[in-house]
Structure 1
Amino acid sequence: MTTNDTPRLPFYRLAPGVYGPLLALTQAAKKDLDPTLVELLLIRASQLNHCAFCLDMHITDARKAGETEARIALLSAWEEAADHYSDKERAALALTEAVTLVARGGVSDEVYERAAVHFDDTELVRLIALITAINSWNRINVAARVPVGAALTPVGGGAS
């Protein structure tokens, strides 16, 4: 991993055809999901992927959605801080980690079934799409070295 944080290229300005569909996927995936849960999942995936841009954005958005500082601070150790998160949140966080780290063993039946207890099929589809979208944002932003606070399009605005 590099410590160089010099931006490499204005990815979204050069590839507006990528930005729009990825934003549309993200927005469609969020539909009817709890906004606070969404932000927790986006933060957790961004932690795993070391995406500073997305971490900054989603921590800010989580605070705006009413998330507490303690839950944000403990998110990277959510399994050890289980009493701070509901069973439903822990199931969604486990699914987020499994999908984000899919190359390490896939999404086990145990993780999937744990999530299926708390989410109906439509919600599961949206969660998986949301996790897939944030992983795409993270990978693009890390590869392009998009700096924290950068405007992602010529007209500005957030990503995920």
Structure 2
Amino acid sequence: MTITDAATTPATATAPAVDAAPDAYVVPVRRLDFDGVAPAFARAVSALDDAAEAEADRAGLGAGIRELVRLRASQLNGCSYCVDLHSRDARAAGEPEQRVHAIAVWPESNFFTARERAALGLVDSVTRLSETHVPDAVWAEAAEHWSPDELAAILSLIVSVNAWNELAVSTRGWRPRLRT
């Protein structure tokens, strides 16, 4: 099997042929080299992410919950690069493989505490902001389990990962590499 790294695919490349080798992975065409075209903005989003990390550090959020928050938002946004990245980072932070897989169906899973479920509910609601407008009940549930500092840190992580997801999905600018 073969795979093409989208980072080397020019933004003007054509879509993969439908009759390509049946065992070849299909790599969506990179639409825009965002880092190359808008480097100042890319650095600003990186700075936003660094600020979210600093808030998480200040609030004492563990690495596991940070990555589960990022992973869940990335799943909802359909960002393959970020799903790959945050799945690996969650595992590196000590999250069991079952929890990493179950985050996609967290409401139906028994692998998450009430506190984690409140954070994940907030992730879902904030990420789907235009649909949910973050109902009072979702916020109240999160506030019952997390301090104001922790809520601010979680919200910061959600906002920063959503920004990355929006850039990655719309430009197809970053692609994970298959590890065998």
Alignment deviations for residues 41-78 of structure 1 (CA, whole Å, 9 cap, x no partner):
11110110000010111111111111111001111110
Contact 1:53 1:146 in 2 (8 A): no
Calculate percent identity across the aligned residue pairs.
38
Say whether residues 1:10 and 2:33 are aligned partners: yes
* Structure 1 residue ranges without an equivalent (≥5): 151-160
Say whether residues 1:74 and 2:74 are aligned partners: no
Once the two structures are TM-superposed, the CA of residue 5 in structure 1 deviates from its matched residue by 0.8
CA distance in 2, matches of 1:12, 1:121: 34
Contact 1:95 1:115 in 2 (8 A): yes
State which of 95, 98, 103 in structure 1 corresponds to 2:122: 95
- Answer 1 or 2: higher relative contact order, Cα 8 Å, separation at least 6: 1
Which one-letter code corresponds to 1:39 in the other structure?
E
| Counterpart position of 1:27 | 50
Which one-letter code corresponds to 1:109 in the other structure?
D
Structure 1 length normalisation: TM-score?
Answer: 0.86
Contact 1:26 1:134 in 2 (8 A): yes
| Counterpart position of 2:143 | 116
CA distance in 1, matches of 2:164, 2:71: 12
Larger gyration radius, structure 1 or structure 2: 2
Tell me the matched-pair count.
148
| Counterpart position of 1:61 | 89
Which one-letter code corresponds to 2:165 in the other structure?
N
Contact 1:5 1:147 in 2 (8 A): no
Structure 1 stretches of 4+ moved >4 Å: none
Once the two structures are TM-superposed, the CA of residue 93 in structure 1 deviates from its matched residue by 0.2
Which one-letter code corresponds to 2:66 in the other structure?
V
CA distance in 2, matches of 1:19, 1:25: 10
Once the two structures are TM-superposed, the CA of residue 80 in structure 1 deviates from its matched residue by 0.5
Structure 2 length normalisation: TM-score?
Answer: 0.77
Q: How big is the alpha-carbon RMSD for the aligned residues of Structure 1 and Structure 2?
A: 1.8
